[in-house]
């Protein structure tokens, strides 16, 4: 594929309603969980099946605008020990994403343009603070950066 063809393909892919979600059992998700815990965040976890080798964070689905103004379908994770995101916590979250990207094998992780939502409650229950992110395959990024 030529440089022009690759850029056109990537441009078309990035300008559509782009699904950039990660599967809830992808091993790269464990890199994210470890990085979050390293920075003292407590992600909400799925209850493990009886014979689970790994316990994965509980993923939500999110649709949001990325940093380039494109609509993306991504994921969200609830952080049980955060009620409101302060500047220091957001910096730690960015550092956790950076650490994840150093250790992940298949995906690069990116925060959404407005990545956080504070603690919420309604009349029946409460919801921990969340952050939203999307992923891109590292191979696709390497190809694009090679040109």
Delimit the domains of the chain by residue range.
3-146
* Per-residue CA distances from 17 to 75, 76, 108 (Å): 14, 17, 19
Q: Buried b vs exposed e over 62-80: b needs ≥16 C-beta within 10 Å?
A: bebebeeebebebbbbbbe
State pTM to two decimals.
Answer: 0.77
* Cα–Cα distance measured from residue 64 to residue 81, given in angstroms and rounded to the nearest whole number: 24
Q: Which pLDDT value is given to residue 69?
A: 78
Backbone angles phi, psi at 5, to 5 degrees: -65, -40
Q: Which pLDDT value is given to residue 145?
A: 57
Round the CA-based radius of gyration of the chain to a whole number and report it: 16
**3-state SS, residue 125:** coil
Which residues in the chain come in under a pLDDT of 70? 1-17, 47-53, 67, 118-126, 140-147
Q: Which pLDDT value is given to residue 112?
A: 82
């Amino acid at each position: 594929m030529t440089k022009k063809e690759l850029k056109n393909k990537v441009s078309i892919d990035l300008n559509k309603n782009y699904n950039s979600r990660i599967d809830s059992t992808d091993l790269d998700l464990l890199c994210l969980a470890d990085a979050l815990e390293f920075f003292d965040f407590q992600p909400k976890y799925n209850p493990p099946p009886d014979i689970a080798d790994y316990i994965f964070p509980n993923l939500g689905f999110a649709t949001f605008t990325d940093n380039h103004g494109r609509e993306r379908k991504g994921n969200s994770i609830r952080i049980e020990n955060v009620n409101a995101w302060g500047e220091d916590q957001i910096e730690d979250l960015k550092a956790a994403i950076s650490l994840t990207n150093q250790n992940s094998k298949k995906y690069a992780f990116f925060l959404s343009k407005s990545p956080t939502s504070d603690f919420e409650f309604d009349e029946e229950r409460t919801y921990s603070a969340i952050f939203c992110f999307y992923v891109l395959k590292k191979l696709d990024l390497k190809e694009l950066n090679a040109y």
